Structure 1
Amino acid sequence: MERTFEQTIADLRMLLRDEPPCTTADITDSAVVYLVGGRIKGVFLSADEPEGLDEPFAVDAWFVGQVEENLTDWFANPRFSHRPTLRNWTLDAPPLESAVG
Protein backbone atom coordinates (compact mmCIF):
# COMPACT_ATOMS: atom_id res chain seq x y z
CA MET A 1 0.00 0.00 0.00
CA GLU A 2 1.37 3.38 -0.99
CA ARG A 3 1.54 6.15 1.55
CA THR A 4 0.03 9.49 0.75
CA PHE A 5 2.12 12.61 1.25
CA GLU A 6 -0.05 13.57 4.22
CA GLN A 7 0.37 10.13 5.82
CA THR A 8 4.12 10.22 5.29
CA ILE A 9 4.41 13.61 7.01
CA ALA A 10 2.09 12.54 9.84
CA ASP A 11 4.10 9.35 10.42
CA LEU A 12 7.44 11.20 10.36
CA ARG A 13 6.04 13.76 12.81
CA MET A 14 4.77 11.03 15.13
CA LEU A 15 8.07 9.13 15.15
CA LEU A 16 10.23 12.22 15.58
CA ARG A 17 8.01 13.55 18.37
CA ASP A 18 9.07 10.55 20.47
CA GLU A 19 12.77 11.31 19.97
CA PRO A 20 14.91 13.79 21.93
CA PRO A 21 15.42 17.30 20.54
CA CYS A 22 18.07 17.62 17.81
CA THR A 23 17.23 14.20 16.38
CA THR A 24 17.02 13.67 12.64
CA ALA A 25 15.36 10.95 10.61
CA ASP A 26 18.15 9.86 8.27
CA ILE A 27 16.16 9.43 5.05
CA THR A 28 19.13 9.32 2.64
CA ASP A 29 22.90 9.51 2.98
CA SER A 30 22.74 13.22 2.23
CA ALA A 31 19.28 14.37 3.38
CA VAL A 32 17.68 14.26 6.81
CA VAL A 33 14.44 15.57 8.26
CA TYR A 34 13.71 16.86 11.73
CA LEU A 35 10.85 18.22 13.79
CA VAL A 36 10.76 21.81 14.98
CA GLY A 37 7.70 23.53 16.33
CA GLY A 38 5.53 20.62 15.23
CA ARG A 39 6.66 20.99 11.61
CA ILE A 40 8.79 18.62 9.55
CA LYS A 41 11.82 20.38 8.06
CA GLY A 42 14.64 19.09 5.90
CA VAL A 43 18.35 19.74 5.62
CA PHE A 44 21.03 18.42 3.33
CA LEU A 45 24.16 17.18 5.07
CA SER A 46 27.49 18.83 4.37
CA ALA A 47 29.82 16.87 2.14
CA ASP A 48 32.82 18.67 3.67
CA GLU A 49 32.06 18.38 7.38
CA PRO A 50 31.20 15.02 8.96
CA GLU A 51 28.64 16.50 11.38
CA GLY A 52 27.86 19.57 9.30
CA LEU A 53 24.49 20.69 8.02
CA ASP A 54 24.36 22.42 4.68
CA GLU A 55 21.18 23.73 3.04
CA PRO A 56 17.57 23.54 4.19
CA PHE A 57 14.91 22.14 1.90
CA ALA A 58 11.15 21.90 1.89
CA VAL A 59 9.74 18.52 2.82
CA ASP A 60 7.02 18.77 0.22
CA ALA A 61 5.25 16.35 -2.10
CA TRP A 62 8.02 16.71 -4.69
CA PHE A 63 10.75 15.76 -2.21
CA VAL A 64 8.73 12.84 -0.83
CA GLY A 65 8.18 11.59 -4.38
CA GLN A 66 11.90 11.82 -5.16
CA VAL A 67 12.91 9.74 -2.13
CA GLU A 68 9.95 7.36 -2.10
CA GLU A 69 12.13 4.23 -2.18
CA ASN A 70 14.34 5.62 0.59
CA LEU A 71 11.26 6.36 2.69
CA THR A 72 9.90 2.85 2.17
CA ASP A 73 13.21 1.43 3.41
CA TRP A 74 13.36 3.98 6.23
CA PHE A 75 9.88 3.17 7.55
CA ALA A 76 10.79 -0.54 7.50
CA ASN A 77 13.96 0.21 9.49
CA PRO A 78 13.95 3.77 10.92
CA ARG A 79 17.36 5.34 11.45
CA PHE A 80 17.80 8.39 13.62
CA SER A 81 20.82 10.50 14.51
CA HIS A 82 21.25 12.86 17.40
CA ARG A 83 22.77 16.06 15.99
CA PRO A 84 23.53 18.64 18.70
CA THR A 85 24.60 21.14 16.03
CA LEU A 86 20.98 21.19 14.79
CA ARG A 87 19.92 23.44 17.69
CA ASN A 88 22.21 26.31 16.67
CA TRP A 89 21.85 25.60 12.96
CA THR A 90 18.09 26.10 13.07
CA LEU A 91 18.67 29.58 14.50
CA ASP A 92 21.24 30.49 11.84
CA ALA A 93 19.96 28.46 8.88
CA PRO A 94 19.88 30.13 5.49
CA PRO A 95 16.36 31.21 4.56
CA LEU A 96 14.24 28.69 2.70
CA GLU A 97 12.64 30.23 -0.35
CA SER A 98 9.39 28.30 -0.11
CA ALA A 99 8.76 26.94 3.39
CA VAL A 100 6.34 24.00 3.38
CA GLY A 101 5.70 21.24 5.88
Structure 2
Amino acid sequence: MERTFEQTVSDLRMLLRDQPPSTTADVADGAVLYLAGNELRGVFLNADEPDGLDQPFAVDQWFVGQLEENLEDWFHQPRFTLRPSLQTWALDAPPAEPAD
Protein backbone atom coordinates (compact mmCIF):
# COMPACT_ATOMS: atom_id res chain seq x y z
CA MET A 1 0.00 0.00 0.00
CA GLU A 2 1.32 3.42 -0.94
CA ARG A 3 1.65 6.02 1.81
CA THR A 4 -0.09 9.36 1.48
CA PHE A 5 1.73 12.59 2.31
CA GLU A 6 -0.32 12.95 5.50
CA GLN A 7 0.49 9.38 6.59
CA THR A 8 4.18 9.88 5.91
CA VAL A 9 4.35 13.09 7.96
CA SER A 10 2.27 11.58 10.77
CA ASP A 11 4.47 8.46 10.94
CA LEU A 12 7.67 10.52 10.93
CA ARG A 13 6.32 12.69 13.76
CA MET A 14 5.36 9.61 15.77
CA LEU A 15 8.77 8.01 15.37
CA LEU A 16 10.63 11.22 16.21
CA ARG A 17 8.50 11.77 19.34
CA ASP A 18 9.86 8.46 20.65
CA GLN A 19 13.45 9.76 20.35
CA PRO A 20 15.37 12.04 22.72
CA PRO A 21 15.19 15.81 22.07
CA SER A 22 17.60 17.09 19.38
CA THR A 23 17.34 13.86 17.38
CA THR A 24 17.03 13.88 13.60
CA ALA A 25 15.57 11.33 11.22
CA ASP A 26 18.33 10.84 8.66
CA VAL A 27 16.19 10.39 5.55
CA ALA A 28 18.87 11.24 2.96
CA ASP A 29 22.63 11.77 2.84
CA GLY A 30 22.28 15.54 2.88
CA ALA A 31 18.88 16.10 4.51
CA VAL A 32 17.45 15.34 7.93
CA LEU A 33 14.10 15.90 9.62
CA TYR A 34 13.35 16.94 13.20
CA LEU A 35 10.47 17.95 15.42
CA ALA A 36 9.94 21.51 16.63
CA GLY A 37 7.06 21.06 19.02
CA ASN A 38 4.70 18.97 16.90
CA GLU A 39 5.84 20.49 13.59
CA LEU A 40 7.99 18.36 11.31
CA ARG A 41 10.82 20.42 9.86
CA GLY A 42 13.79 19.71 7.65
CA VAL A 43 17.36 20.90 7.39
CA PHE A 44 20.05 20.30 4.82
CA LEU A 45 23.40 19.23 6.22
CA ASN A 46 26.46 21.38 5.62
CA ALA A 47 28.68 19.70 3.02
CA ASP A 48 31.84 21.02 4.72
CA GLU A 49 30.78 19.78 8.16
CA PRO A 50 29.02 16.40 7.95
CA ASP A 51 27.18 16.92 11.23
CA GLY A 52 26.78 20.66 10.68
CA LEU A 53 23.28 21.97 10.09
CA ASP A 54 22.89 24.34 7.15
CA GLN A 55 19.67 25.53 5.49
CA PRO A 56 16.17 24.70 6.71
CA PHE A 57 13.47 23.57 4.32
CA ALA A 58 9.75 22.93 4.45
CA VAL A 59 8.62 19.34 4.67
CA ASP A 60 5.95 19.61 2.01
CA GLN A 61 4.42 17.34 -0.62
CA TRP A 62 7.12 18.26 -3.13
CA PHE A 63 9.93 17.25 -0.76
CA VAL A 64 8.24 14.01 0.26
CA GLY A 65 7.61 13.18 -3.41
CA GLN A 66 11.25 13.80 -4.31
CA LEU A 67 12.44 11.45 -1.55
CA GLU A 68 9.77 8.79 -1.98
CA GLU A 69 12.27 5.94 -2.51
CA ASN A 70 14.57 7.18 0.28
CA LEU A 71 11.63 7.39 2.67
CA GLU A 72 10.43 3.90 1.74
CA ASP A 73 13.90 2.54 2.57
CA TRP A 74 14.07 4.69 5.70
CA PHE A 75 10.79 3.33 7.07
CA HIS A 76 12.16 -0.22 6.65
CA GLN A 77 15.36 0.70 8.50
CA PRO A 78 15.00 4.04 10.36
CA ARG A 79 18.21 5.94 11.11
CA PHE A 80 18.38 8.62 13.75
CA THR A 81 21.18 10.87 14.95
CA LEU A 82 21.33 12.75 18.22
CA ARG A 83 22.49 16.28 17.32
CA PRO A 84 23.05 18.33 20.50
CA SER A 85 23.57 21.49 18.42
CA LEU A 86 20.07 21.20 16.87
CA GLN A 87 18.28 23.10 19.63
CA THR A 88 20.65 26.09 19.44
CA TRP A 89 20.71 26.01 15.62
CA ALA A 90 16.89 25.98 15.42
CA LEU A 91 16.71 29.19 17.47
CA ASP A 92 18.94 31.05 14.97
CA ALA A 93 17.90 29.30 11.76
CA PRO A 94 16.47 31.38 8.91
CA PRO A 95 12.85 30.62 8.07
CA ALA A 96 12.27 27.64 5.81
CA GLU A 97 11.08 28.52 2.35
CA PRO A 98 8.65 26.17 0.61
CA ALA A 99 9.72 24.65 -2.71
CA ASP A 100 8.53 26.43 -5.85
TM-score normalised per structure 2: 0.95
Partner Cα distance (2:23, 2:50) in 1: 16
- The residue matched to 1:59 in structure 2 has which SS? coil
* Aligned: 1:17 with 2:17: yes
What residue ranges of structure 2 are gaps of 5+ in the alignment? none
CA deviations on 1:60-82 (whole Å, 9 max, x unpaired) are 00000000000000000000000
- The residue matched to 2:20 in structure 1 has which SS? coil
Q: What is the alpha-carbon root mean square deviation over aligned residues? A: 0.8
* Aligned: 1:79 with 2:87: no
TM-score normalised per structure 1: 0.94
Partner Cα distance (1:68, 1:97) in 2: 20
What residue ranges of structure 1 are gaps of 5+ in the alignment? none
Question: Map of 1:17-36 to 2, 5 A cutoff?
Answer: 17-36=17-36
- Residue 40 of structure 2 is matched in structure 1 by 40
Partner Cα distance (2:81, 2:59) in 1: 18
CA deviations on 1:20-75 (whole Å, 9 max, x unpaired) are 00000000000000011101000000001122100000000000000000000000
Partner Cα distance (1:48, 1:24) in 2: 19
Tell me how many residue pairs correspond in the alignment.
98
Partner Cα distance (1:45, 1:97) in 2: 16
- Residue 62 of structure 2 is matched in structure 1 by 62
Partner Cα distance (2:34, 2:76) in 1: 18
Partner Cα distance (2:78, 2:93) in 1: 25
- The residue matched to 1:27 in structure 2 has which SS? strand
**Moved beyond 6 Å, runs of 4+:** none
